[in-house]
């Protein structure tokens, strides 16, 4: 079954955007629907119609050490030492995977260096790419290779890891997970008086609200904000970002944007933050508060959270939905299927788990179709029977196109299963529009961002380094 990532916060009330930037590659901005857009299909489709430019390059990063060896044991074997820094890109059009691995401090000579997959941080998997054989066993190891569509989806899902074997540790001395690490993330927040107190009740006379939009650039450490407020009881005296603290907690001020951007709405500006502050922001641990003459301690407050990046979908297929939602089963048609799916709006990885039973005959074809609503028909979009087989359960993942991602998110894909008795279609089920975005950022993403922030900001502080290639 598909695993849900950790929920770090509720989605911003008006939705948000995710921005990917990879060097000189094109920028893709995908707008994420709020819960309110689910009520009307046209509004959700409108929210997902974004810039036509699609990010062809995804960036990844990771750090390998001995604590991650032995499937994330958390402790180094006696004598294990050394670290490695992993940078990689994936061209989603050509499936060209490029890497740059640099290591130091190992206990012995490097003997083998592999990428493995598909596996998470505490799992093991066979080697899939022997970069030591391809590019040598001396640091840095820089190269590229074309991977399969399945491998590209595994990489984009954070399911590849690097390990380095040495003469001292022939099984593995260090290991590190390769994780998607966008250079820029966007954040949203909404401030109100009922967030100022732990009990959720406004102080007598307190009122007003504020919308907060922000971006964080891990390449430069630039944090940019735009805050718009209205309806406060009295003039603003102070506006701060505070952290690190979650909702209901307090922390000291870390950025006085009133001094930087003024005390009249809107307040827009930017500042360079530290690596620790960047990781706090990416983890949803900054909040804004606005002080006024009438409420010098605080009139309104709002948590700043990363915009949602992944949606979850569930559906049931049956014979009554076949024939473009005819509502009645054909004579002899039977059986059901459950569909669990996720769509990552940053990487366009679509993952599915389809399980069926009770069909009149064995399945002959299993497809996702789109774009089409429940009473419409559309061409085949993804032939999962060919990809993963015709026996239940059928589960897998692939990177879909930007257009397909928009269709899925708008509820315009459906599953159908054909059988020998019903070669046109025995059962069908519509993937619904998401009821809400699944998460603001997964734990793995935050770890990747944190590691990237520290590496990138340290590199900025040192100045540009010569290209090892």
Looking at the structure, tell me whether residues 300 and 316 fall in a common domain: no
DSSP 66-88: GGGHHHH-SSPPTT---EEEEEE
* 50: confidence class by pLDDT, cuts 50, 70, 90: very low
Looking at the structure, tell me whether residues 64 and 133 fall in a common domain: yes
Q: What are the backbone angles phi and psi of residue 353, rounded to the nearest 5°?
A: -140, 105
Rounded percentage of the chain residues whose pLDDT exceeds 90: 68
Looking at the structure, tell me whether residues 80 and 117 fall in a common domain: yes
Looking at the structure, tell me whether residues 303 and 449 fall in a common domain: yes
Residue 451 pLDDT more than 90?
no
The pLDDT value recorded for residue 465 is 42
Residue 194 is part of which domain span? 183-307+443-460
Under DSSP, is residue 150 helix (H, G, I), strand (E, B) or coil? helix
CB atoms within 10 A of CB 124: 14
The pLDDT value recorded for residue 182 is 82
Mean pLDDT computed over 284-301: 96
Q: What are the backbone angles phi and psi of residue 258, rounded to the nearest 5°?
A: -65, -40
Looking at the structure, tell me whether residues 360 and 452 fall in a common domain: no
45 within some domain: no
21 within some domain: no
Nearest to 227 by CA among 202, 278, 263, 277: 263
Number of domains in the chain: 3
Residue 14 pLDDT more than 70?
no
323 vs 447, higher pLDDT: 323
Looking at the structure, tell me whether residues 429 and 363 fall in a common domain: yes
pTM of the model: 0.73
Mean pLDDT computed over 79-92: 94
* 23: confidence class by pLDDT, cuts 50, 70, 90: very low
Contact between 115 and 106 under an 8 Å Cβ cutoff? The reply is no
Looking at the structure, tell me whether residues 432 and 284 fall in a common domain: no
Residue where one domain finishes, among candidates 181, 203, 222 = 181
Residue where one domain finishes, among candidates 160, 181, 202 = 181
187 within some domain: yes
Residue 62 pLDDT more than 60?
yes
Looking at the structure, tell me whether residues 79 and 175 fall in a common domain: yes
Which among 8-12, 242-246, 320-324 has the top mean pLDDT?
Answer: 242-246
254 within some domain: yes
DSSP code for 94 = T
Q: What strands lie across the sheet with 253-256, from one edge to the other?
A: 253-256, 236-242, 286-292, 300-306, 184-192, 209-217, 222-230, 267-272
Residue where one domain finishes, among candidates 181, 201, 228 = 181
CB proximity list for 447: less than 8 A, separation 6 or greater: 179
Residue 48 pLDDT more than 70?
no
31 within some domain: no
Looking at the structure, tell me whether residues 368 and 259 fall in a common domain: no
Residue 12 pLDDT more than 50?
no
CB proximity list for 42: less than 8 A, separation 6 or greater: none
99 within some domain: yes
pLDDT, tens digit (0-9, with 9 covering 90-100), for 216-247 = 998 899 999 999 999 999 999 999 999 999 99
Q: Read off the CATH number of the domain in which 413 is found.
A: 2.60.40.200
Looking at the structure, tell me whether residues 319 and 425 fall in a common domain: yes
Residue 363 pLDDT more than 50?
yes
Q: Please, what is the angle between helix 275-282 and helix 443-462, to 10°?
A: 160
Mean pLDDT computed over 341-356: 94
Looking at the structure, tell me whether residues 62 and 162 fall in a common domain: yes
* 341: confidence class by pLDDT, cuts 50, 70, 90: very high
Q: What is the mean pLDDT of the chain?
A: 83
41 within some domain: no
**Measured distance CA(153)–CA(112) in Å, rounded:** 25
Mean pLDDT computed over 263-281: 94
136 within some domain: yes
The pLDDT value recorded for residue 346 is 86
94 vs 44, higher pLDDT: 94
Mean pLDDT computed over 396-424: 95
Mean pLDDT computed over 58-79: 86
Strand runs labelled E in 243-335 = 253-256, 267-272, 286-292, 300-306, 310-318
Looking at the structure, tell me whether residues 299 and 377 fall in a common domain: no
């Amino acid at each position: 079954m598909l695993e849900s990532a950790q929920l770090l916060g509720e989605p911003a009330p008006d939705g948000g955007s995710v921005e990917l930037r990879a060097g000189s590659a094109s920028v893709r901005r995908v707008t994420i629907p709020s819960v309110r857009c689910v009520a009307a299909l046209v509004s959700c489709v409108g929210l997902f119609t974004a810039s036509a430019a699609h990010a062809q390059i995804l960036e990844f990063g990771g750090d390998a050490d001995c604590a991650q060896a032995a499937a994330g044991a958390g402790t180094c074997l006696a004598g294990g030492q050394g670290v490695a820094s992993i940078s990689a890109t994936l061209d989603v059009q050509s499936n060209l995977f490029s890497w740059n691995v640099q290591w130091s401090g190992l206990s012995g000579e490097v003997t083998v260096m592999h990428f493995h997959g598909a596996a998470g941080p505490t799992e093991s998997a066979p080697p899939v790419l022997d970069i030591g054989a391809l590019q040598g066993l001396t640091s840095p190891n820089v190269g590229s290779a074309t991977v399969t569509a399945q491998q590209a989806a595994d990489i984009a899902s954070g399911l590849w890891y690097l390990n380095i074997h040495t003469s001292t540790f022939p099984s593995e001395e260090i290991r590190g997970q390769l994780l998607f690490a966008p250079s820029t993330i966007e954040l949203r927040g909404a401030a109100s008086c009922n967030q100022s107190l732990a009990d959720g009740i406004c102080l007598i006379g307190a009122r007003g609200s504020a919308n907060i939009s922000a971006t964080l650039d891990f390449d430069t450490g630039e944090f940019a904000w735009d805050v718009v407020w209205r309806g406060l009881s009295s003039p603003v005296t102070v506006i701060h970002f505070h952290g690190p603290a979650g909702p209901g907690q307090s922390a000291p001020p870390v950025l006085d944007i009133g001094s930087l951007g003024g005390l009249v709405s809107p307040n827009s500006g930017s500042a360079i933050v530290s690596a620790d502050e960047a990781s706090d922001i990416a983890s949803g641990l900054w909040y804004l508060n606005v002080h006024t003459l009438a409420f010098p301690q605080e009139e309104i407050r709002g948590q700043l959270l990363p915009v949602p990046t992944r949606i979850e979908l569930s559906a049931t297929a049956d014979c009554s939905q076949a024939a473009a939602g005819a509502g009645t089963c054909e004579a002899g048609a039977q059986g059901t299927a459950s569909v669990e799916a996720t769509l990552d709006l940053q990487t366009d990885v679509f993952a599915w788990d389809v399980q069926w039973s009770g069909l009149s005959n064995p399945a002959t074809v299993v497809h996702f179709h789109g774009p089409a609503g429940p009473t419409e028909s559309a061409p085949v979009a993804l032939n999962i029977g060919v990809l993963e087989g015709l026996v239940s359960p059928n589960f897998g993942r692939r990177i879909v196109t930007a257009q397909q991602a928009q269709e899925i998110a708008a509820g315009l894909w459906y599953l159908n299963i054909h059988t020998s008795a019903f070669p046109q279609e025995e059962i069908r089920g519509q993937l619904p529009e998401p009821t809400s975005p699944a998460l603001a950022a997964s734990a793995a993403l935050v770890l990747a961002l944190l590691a990237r922030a520290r590496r990138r900001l340290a590199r900025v502080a040192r100045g540009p380094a010569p290209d090892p290639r």
